Copies of this chain bind each other. A is one copy, B any other.
C-alpha cells in the first residue's frame, strides 16, 4: 500500500501568461494608454527590460501549478513569499496518503567541501542500500502508527505529528513570471548564472518543472532571463 517515489510533479493547471503581457505593460510606461498593438519588437523590448532590471512589467501574468512534493521541499518552497500564493493539502482536514520520497542512486547523497560551498557526489552501493532500508522502515512504521492512532480516535492533527518529512503533499502554487524568475535564480544551479546558487536537489526538481512550462509559455521572457545570467529583474 505504501508507495515510494523519487520524482516531483508541477502540472500547469491554469495560466494567463504571455510575452505580450510583458511588452504591453512596459509600453504603458513609455507610450501610455494609446500603446499600439504592434508586436514589432516585443523580444527586443523584453531583453532591454531584463537587462536594465525593470521588474514590474513581468508581474502582469499568472501561472497556477498543482505541485506534488515531499514536506521537506514545501518547507523551503514556502519561504518564497512575495508574488506566491499557496493552498496546500491539510493534515488537519484530511488523512495524508502513504506516499513517500526515496532518493534513488542518481541522487548524489554525499557532501564534500567546506561550509558554504559544498559539492554533492554519488554514494556507495552500501549507502544507497542503507538509505533505502531506513527510509522504508521509518515510513512504514510511522504510517502504520499514524493510521492506528486515528483508528483509536486520535485526531488527524495529532496523529500526523509523527509522520516523516519525506511524505508527499500537494498544493496549488500561483506565481507570476517575476516571482518565478526569483525562485529559479535561487533554486536551480546553472553554470551560466551570474550568481551561483546551491539549492537542495529536490527543490531544484520542482524548479525545473516550473522552468519547462515557463520556457514554453513565455519564450522571449525565458530566453532573456537565461541570456542575462538568470538574474530576476
Q: Which residues of A contact B (CB under 8 A)?
A: 13-16, 21, 24-26, 28-33, 48, 52-53, 56-57, 59-62, 64, 66, 68, 70-72, 74-75, 78-79, 81-82, 84-94, 97, 101, 103, 107, 109-111, 115-116, 120, 123-124, 126-127, 130-131, 134-135, 137-139, 141-142, 145, 148-149, 152-158, 160-166, 170-172, 174, 176, 186, 195, 197, 200
Given contacts A64-B60, A89-B28, contact A53 B170 (CB under 8 A): no
In whole angstroms, what is the CA distance A161 to B116 when docked? 21
Residues of B within 8 A of A135 (CB): 161-162
**Closest CB pairs A-B (n = 7):** A16-B16, A59-B85, A62-B62, A81-B81, A33-B170, A111-B155, A161-B166
Chain B CB count within 10 A is highest, among A79, A154, A163, for A154
Chain B CB count within 10 A is highest, among A110, A160, A161, for A161
In whole angstroms, what is the CA distance A67 to B30 when docked? 15
| A88 x B155 contact (CB < 8 A) | no
Residues of B within 8 A of A131 (CB): 149, 154, 158
Residues of B within 8 A of A32 (CB): 89, 94, 97, 170
Main secondary structure of the interface of A (DSSP, over half): mixed
Residues of B within 8 A of A166 (CB): 161-162
In whole angstroms, what is the CA distance A91 to B94 when docked? 27
| B56 x A85 contact (CB < 8 A) | yes
| B111 x A195 contact (CB < 8 A) | no
Residues of B within 8 A of A126 (CB): 152
In whole angstroms, what is the CA distance A139 to B109 when docked? 23
Residues of B within 8 A of A25 (CB): 87, 172
Residues of B within 8 A of A171 (CB): 28
Residues of B within 8 A of A97 (CB): 32
| B61 x A30 contact (CB < 8 A) | no
| 17 additional contacts (CB under 8 A) given A30-B90, A138-B138 | A14-B60, A15-B16, A28-B88, A28-B171, A29-B90, A29-B93, A32-B94, A33-B66, A53-B195, A79-B86, A130-B148, A131-B158, A134-B149, A138-B145, A138-B162, A141-B141, A164-B165
